[in-house]
Amino acid sequence: MSATDPNKSSPTSDQVLIARQVNKTFFSTSGDKVEALRAVDLSVGRGEFVVLIGPTGCGKTTLLNILGGLDSPDGGEIRFAPGFRREDGLAYVFQHYTLFPWRKLLANVAFGLQMRGVPRRRRNARARDLLQRVGLADFERAYPHELSGGMRQRVALAQALAVEPSVLLMDEPFGALDDATRKDLQQLLIDLWQTTSMSVLFVTHNIDEAVILASRICVLSGRPGRVVQDIPVSLPRPRDHLAQPFTDRLLIVRQALYSDT
Ligand SMILES: Nc1ncnc2c1ncn2[C@@H]1O[C@H](COP(=O)(O)OP(=O)(O)OP(=O)(O)O)[C@@H](O)[C@H]1O
Ligand SMILES: [Mg+2]
């Protein structure tokens, strides 16, 4: 494509979003300059599970915030597929728990649907169905403080899925969990993703998690973050941690991460 092509930054029909040459610099209150992202190019295909991995502080959350419309880039552009509107088609699971403490679980899961004006009966039925799918059918009347960390992230997942997003952004959603709970939730996420056509962009700095989940891994450099490698992962699911192809992928990602930090 030529540099003058006016459509050069538009997603193709099999892409849901593209970021082109995205830059972001922060200025602290004391006037210090932190260049978080430099010329980041990224695309996410329909139904794809893209994992964004990079060292701490390299700009992963910043990039997700920009894609989610919570922050704006200083340069470059973000384009979505034609007809896509963030307020309808995008959901976000944050790094830290973000449930409403004063709402029971059912009302937490139904929140996005309530905001979209879905009538109570319908939104509650959908929220119940999702609570069941994440294994919390018996907890619809509980409050978030009555749950373990893993249970809260299950609710956050149900809350995000309730609006049937076509793009799901996830920022280290399992980072604070113990290993066994994390593995359970990874499997749950894959099971849920496989029943939909949504695209997931999932941030982690855990290499094992990246290879378990991804259909493609984008490796970011240390700050300022740039995409340094794009690694397709076409291993069959469920993935066997001990199999040679899995450990081969781990090594490739590790090399990509450490060769540029
Ligand atoms: N609002 C802000 N004001 C000033 N600096 C910021 C702001 N947000 C992020 N930064 C800086 O930008 C850089 C990237 O931060 P970001 O949170 O995107 O990193 P990250 O890759 O998500 O890190 P982690 O893996 O630890 O979550 C950091 O140096 C951070 O201090
Ligand atoms: Mg972060």
pLDDT digits (tens, 9 = 90+) for 12-69: 779 999 999 999 999 988 889 999 999 999 999 999 999 999 999 999 999 999 999 9
Cα(55) to ligand 1 centroid in Å equals 11
Residue ranges of domains in the chain:
1-84+202-261
What value does the mean pLDDT of the chain take?
Answer: 92
For residue 73 and ligand 1, the question of a CB distance below 6 A is answered with no
The mean pLDDT of 187-211, rounded to a whole number, is 95
Pick 127 or 176 by higher pLDDT.
127
Is 3 a residue whose pLDDT tops 60?
no
Out of 3.40.50.300, 3.30.420.10, 3.40.50.10490, 3.30.70.360, which CATH number does the structure's domain 1-84+202-261 have?
3.40.50.300
Measured CA to CA, the distance from residue 69 to residue 46 in angstroms comes to 19
Index of the ligand 1 atom closest to the CA of residue 63: 18
Whose Cα sits closest to atom 7 in ligand 1?
Answer: 26
Instruction: Give yes or no for a contact between 168 and 160, defined as CB atoms under 8 angstroms apart.
Output: yes
Whose Cα sits closest to atom 25 in ligand 1?
Answer: 56
Cα(96) to ligand 2 centroid in Å equals 10
Is 191 a residue whose pLDDT tops 90?
yes
Is 11 a residue whose pLDDT tops 90?
no
Measured CA to CA, the distance from residue 66 to residue 58 in angstroms comes to 14
Residue 9 pLDDT: 63
* Count of residues in the chain: 261
Instruction: For residue 232, give the nearest of 258, 247, 253 by alpha carbon.
Output: 253
Report residue 5's pLDDT band, with 50, 70 and 90 as the boundaries. very low
pLDDT digits (tens, 9 = 90+) for 224-241: 999 999 999 999 999 998
Instruction: Give yes or no for a contact between 170 and 90, defined as CB atoms under 8 angstroms apart.
Output: no
The mean pLDDT of 173-194, rounded to a whole number, is 92
Least confident of 12-16, 40-44, 116-120, 143-147: 12-16
Q: Which of 60, 96, 220 has most ligand 1 atoms within 8 Å of its beta carbon, as the pocket-test mutant? A: 60
